[in-house]
Amino acid sequence: MTVVLLVVTVLVLGKFTISKHSAKNLQEAFQNDNVLGLSRLISFENEKKQDEFMAKFDQVTLKMMLEQRQRLDRLEKQQQVLLDEIRTLKTPPPHASLRDKLVYMYRYDPSVKFPAYIWQSWKYGLIDERFEQKFRDGESQWAWKNPGFVHELFNDDTAHTIIKYLYRQVPEVIETYEKLPEIILKMDFFRYLILFAKGGVYADVDTYPLQPIPNWIPENVSPDELGMIFSIETDSNSPDWKKEVVHRLQFGQFVVQAKPGHPVLREAIARIVEETANRVRKLEPEESLRLKGSPHEKVLDISRWTGAGLWTDVVFHYFNDYIQSSVFQKITWKEFHGLEVPKLVSDVLVLPVHSFASEIEIPKDGKILDPLAFVKHYAASIWKST
């Protein structure tokens, strides 16, 4: 009995001792868990505050960057306005030739980007009911397909005004513009003048863009290499081509992209001024400057005076002036006959006929299957209605 009591006492005491130690360990464990939980809570809160801080920091940084970008954009625009004003106020030397005056006013810098301008001209304004719907559609598509481009449509009055402003230091240009007897001649002259002074894209009102302007440049050609882009207009195989066009192969000027001051544009302007002055000198007393002959003869006369015939002449003149073009071989129409892919000559990218005069129908879904179809040209004989 005494032994049993001793065993029970030992067991109770042992259990009590174990329980006492377990409680202490349990208490310590609880205390450790509390500390750990508090540490985790503090850590979580710190991470949360840090994330919130970083998010706010990112927002503030982004806001500051946007504001800085806006300030820089405003400064660049103000600088460009100042440069434009200074350029128009520049007075060429009094005894300079016409070509030297043009160079003095608008120098060519091939390293600049193509300006994001789209210029068009038509005798009627957009709100005029005589502005055909087909032309309205094309005009709106030029703007829609090229967001970020400045798009301007000039009528007879506004075109005259901008020419007087841009060329007020070269009176020969303004006088020539005012003497041209037909609107189609003025429209031709206007495209060269606006591109020479401002650069960008000129597109006839009877055109419809199929792809955005940046798509015109092939991937293997850098825009820095280019100063001008246009397409071939006609490439005749007819033995009677002389009855139809001025040149067997002609370059088109109904859509042209150019950098300001390009030598081809300068030469086109100079030749129109000189040709107009020659025609005026040959007039009889009381005779006025005008187009003569049958409708077809007038078409050819327009082409030689201000149109594609003249344009082709000045382009080949540029190609074969190695000082300007750095091309050391003779360039003729044969270099472009049957052209199917874009061809780079000097800083001029020449596109195939179908690039700016595509015959494809305007797709309803906007998908263009021909990668080189950039513009649809209705080729309306708009001179007949001017």
At residue 159, the pLDDT reads 95
At residue 7, the pLDDT reads 36
Terminal Cα distance for the chain, rounded: 137
At residue 71, the pLDDT reads 78
CB 352 within 8 A of CB 370: no
| 183-198 helix and 295-305 helix, angle to the nearest 10 degrees | 20
Whole-prediction pTM: 0.76
At residue 85, the pLDDT reads 60
| 263-281 helix and 183-198 helix, angle to the nearest 10 degrees | 150
DSSP state of 267: H
- Residue 6 main-chain phi, psi, to 5 deg: -65, -45
Residues comprising the chain, all counted:
386
CA 333 vs CA 141, 147, 313, 351: distances in Å? 33, 36, 11, 14
DSSP state of 114: P
CA angle, 317 as apex, 316 and 318 as ends, to 5°? Answer: 90
What residues contact residue 114 under an 8 Å CB cut-off, 6+ apart?
Answer: 199, 200, 201, 223, 226, 257, 258, 259
At residue 11, the pLDDT reads 38
| 263-281 helix and 98-105 helix, angle to the nearest 10 degrees | 140
Nearest Cα residue to 203 out of 273, 250, 140, 272: 140
CB 270 within 8 A of CB 173: no
Separation CA 189–CA 269 (nearest Å): 7
| Helices marked H in the chain | 2-89, 98-105, 133-144, 156-166, 171-179, 183-198, 241-244, 263-281, 295-305, 308-319, 322-325, 353-356
Separation CA 382–CA 154 (nearest Å): 16
Separation CA 242–CA 230 (nearest Å): 23
SS3 at position 291: coil
At residue 16, the pLDDT reads 41
Strand 249-251 and strand 150-154: pairing?
unpaired
At residue 18, the pLDDT reads 41
User: What is the token pair recorded at 146?
Assistant: 């090229």
User: What is the token pair recorded at 55?
Assistant: 């998010």
Separation CA 48–CA 82 (nearest Å): 51
Nearest Cα residue to 335 out of 326, 345, 321: 345
Q: Which CATH architecture has domain 101-385?
A: Alpha-Beta Complex (3.90)
Segments of the chain scoring below 50 in pLDDT: 1-23, 26, 29-30, 380-386
Separation CA 210–CA 376 (nearest Å): 7
Nearest Cα residue to 211 out of 372, 377, 379: 372
Strand 228-235 and strand 249-251: pairing?
antiparallel
At residue 69, the pLDDT reads 76
DSSP state of 303: H
At residue 341, the pLDDT reads 96
Element (H, E) at 21: helix 2-89
